[in-house]
């Protein structure tokens, strides 16, 4: 009886802990967005916009996103991260409502859509990564918690696209948008139960750009993150668009994030168990394997391989993303958690704006984006390998204690 009471008490504390309340909010949020997010470019095509129009939309979104990251940083210090996340949820609800009424050649609404998407992205990522770092107080488990964060996201991601595809096919986009908006509203509730002491930075000083990036580790981590984001954008947005253009069905697109999510659920926690040094090695190995898959994609037109490659890239991406992000989060705990979350997202969207902007000048968008993704992960492999060799030599030169 005492054992049962002890177990029940610990379970209750875990469920009501800030970390798990935060994870519940993230799960509901990811589930609501994954119902519809993968289908947004497809909806734009069905409304009457072209593939270059979709690329222009993504370019505008990333371009507008960049300055919003620093607005989000200021708001976290002013009103707290929870309320910034609430603003992000409201922005994404507004995004879906504008999408609901979007018609062909309505570029004013498209600009509004891009602005709301940028507002959501900047506010959500800056605030929720800051909260993640703040609710994860232990020094030695950042990689493990990062693995859990990705696993929770993917648990929402595996169900959303399948259910979203069913709703889209049976009831249409209006019903899909309504369901997403309702669940997004519920995702706000767990945030309101988080303790206020995680909400705002306790430090009054802000780590400026030069001071934050004074160490080589930060330069390497954020360059690597920016390079990885090019591959991530291509895989998340352009590869599903290519699948739809090739096969032409909603179900074919819904299968993409489902395969990725299943892979991530299986391996996220295991990847989070890697030590810091093992993680650096995995970034090199994972980048090399992703580059190989991109090369094979460019050389084949097999539909079966397209889906097999999604599974493989989903697995190999974890070998890069989890160690890389856990490195960034661990260092951000020491330097400045809010600056860490701001610079991570700002550098990624700035690089992505350049990426999409360059695609607007190219006729063969898919092949150009796939080549760029291949080159980006190859450069990531080289940068990570050089850094690993440098730190290894540095450690061997240090005298034993």
Give me the pLDDT at residue 100, please.
Answer: 82
Query: Is there a domain that residue 149 lies in?
Result: yes
Q: Is pLDDT at 143 greater than 60 in this prediction?
A: no
pTM for the structure as a whole: 0.83
Which structural domain, as residue segments, surrounds residue 268?
16-194+209-397
- pLDDT category, 177, cuts 50, 70, 90? confident
Mean pLDDT for the chain overall: 79
Residue 313 burial (10 A CB sphere; 0-12, 13-18, 19+): buried
Q: Which two tokens stand for residue 224?
A: 């690597």
Alpha-carbon separation of residue 324 from 132, 136, 352 (angstroms): 15, 17, 18
Question: pLDDT tens, 303-333?
Answer: 888 888 887 887 788 788 888 888 888 888 8
Please determine, for residue 192, whether its predicted confidence score (pLDDT) is greater than 80: no
Give me the mean pLDDT over the 81-96 stretch.
88
Cα distances from 132 to residues 18, 343, 378, in angstroms, run 9, 15, 30
The contacts of residue 135 (CB under 8 Å, 6+ apart) are: 17, 18, 19, 22, 194, 198
> Does 56 score more than 60 pLDDT?
yes
Q: Is residue 6 assigned to a domain?
A: no
Kindly report, residue by residue over 378-392, the tens digit of the pLDDT. 999 999 888 888 776
The alpha carbons of the chain give a radius of gyration, in whole angstroms, of: 21
> Would you say residue 126 lies in a domain?
yes
Say if 3 falls within a structural domain. Answer: no
Q: Could you count the other beta carbons within 10 Å of the beta carbon of residue 344?
A: 23
Quote the number of domains for the chain. 1
Q: How far apart are CA 117 and CA 188, in angstroms?
A: 18
Contacts of 181 (CB under 8 A, 6+ apart): 32, 93, 96, 97
Indicate whether 333 belongs to any domain: yes
Q: DSSP string of 178-232?
A: HHHHHHHHHHTHHHHTS-GGGTS-S-SS---HHHHT-SHHHHHHHHHHHHHHHHH
> Dihedral angle at the C-alpha atoms of 215, 219, 220, 224, nearest 10 degrees?
150
**How far does the chain reach from its first CA to its final CA, in angstroms?**
49
pLDDT value of residue 146 = 59
For residue 202, being part of any structural domain is answered with: no
Confirm if 92 and 39 have CB atoms less than 8 A apart: no
3-state helix, strand, coil in the chain (%, to 5): 85, 0, 15
User: Of the spans 1-10, 180-189, 201-210, 219-228, which averages the highest pLDDT?
Assistant: 219-228
Which CATH number covers residue 312?
1.20.1250.20
Q: 9 in a domain, yes or no?
A: no
**Is there a domain that residue 11 lies in?**
no
């Amino acid at each position: 009886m005492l054992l049962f009471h002890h177990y029940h008490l610990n379970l209750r504390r875990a469920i009501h802990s800030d970390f798990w309340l935060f994870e519940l909010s993230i799960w509901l949020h990811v589930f609501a967005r994954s119902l519809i997010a993968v289908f947004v470019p497809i909806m734009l095509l069905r409304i009457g916009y072209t593939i270059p129009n979709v690329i222009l939309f993504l370019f505008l979104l990333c371009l507008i996103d960049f300055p919003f990251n620093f607005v989000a940083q200021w708001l976290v210090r002013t009103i707290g991260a929870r309320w910034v996340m609430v603003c992000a949820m409201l922005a994404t609800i507004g995004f879906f409502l504008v999408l609901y009424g979007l018609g062909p050649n309505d570029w004013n609404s498209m600009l509004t859509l891009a602005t709301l998407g940028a507002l959501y992205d900047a506010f959500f990522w800056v605030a929720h990564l800051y909260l993640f770092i703040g609710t994860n107080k232990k020094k030695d488990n950042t990689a493990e918690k990062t693995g859990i964060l990705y696993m929770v996201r993917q648990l929402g991601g595996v169900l959303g696209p399948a259910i979203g595809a069913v709703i889209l096919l049976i009831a249409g986009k209006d019903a899909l948008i309504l369901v997403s908006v309702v669940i997004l509203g519920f995702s706000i509730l767990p945030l309101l139960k988080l303790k206020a002491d995680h909400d705002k930075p306790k430090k009054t000083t802000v780590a400026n750009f030069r001071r934050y990036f004074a160490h080589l580790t930060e330069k390497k981590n954020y360059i690597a993150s920016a390079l990885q984001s090019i591959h991530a954008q291509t895989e998340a947005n352009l590869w599903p668009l290519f699948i739809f253009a090739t096969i032409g069905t909603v179900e074919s697109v819904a299968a993409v994030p489902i395969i990725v999510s299943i892979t991530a659920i299986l391996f996220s926690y295991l990847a989070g168990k890697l030590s810091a040094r093992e993680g650096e090695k995995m970034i090199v190995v994972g980048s090399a394997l992703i580059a190989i898959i991109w090369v094979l994609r460019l050389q084949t037109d097999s539909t079966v391989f397209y889906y097999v490659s999604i599974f493989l890239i989903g697995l190999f991406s974890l070998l890069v993303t989890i160690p890389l992000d856990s490195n960034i989060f661990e260092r951000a705990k020491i330097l400045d958690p809010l600056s860490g979350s701001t610079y991570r997202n700002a550098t990624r969207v700035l690089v992505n704006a350049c990426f999409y902007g360059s695609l607007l000048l190219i006729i063969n968008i898919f092949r150009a984006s796939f080549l760029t993704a291949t080159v980006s992960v190859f450069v990531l492999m080289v940068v990570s390998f050089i850094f690993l060799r440098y730190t290894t030599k540095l450690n061997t030169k240090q005298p034993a204690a």
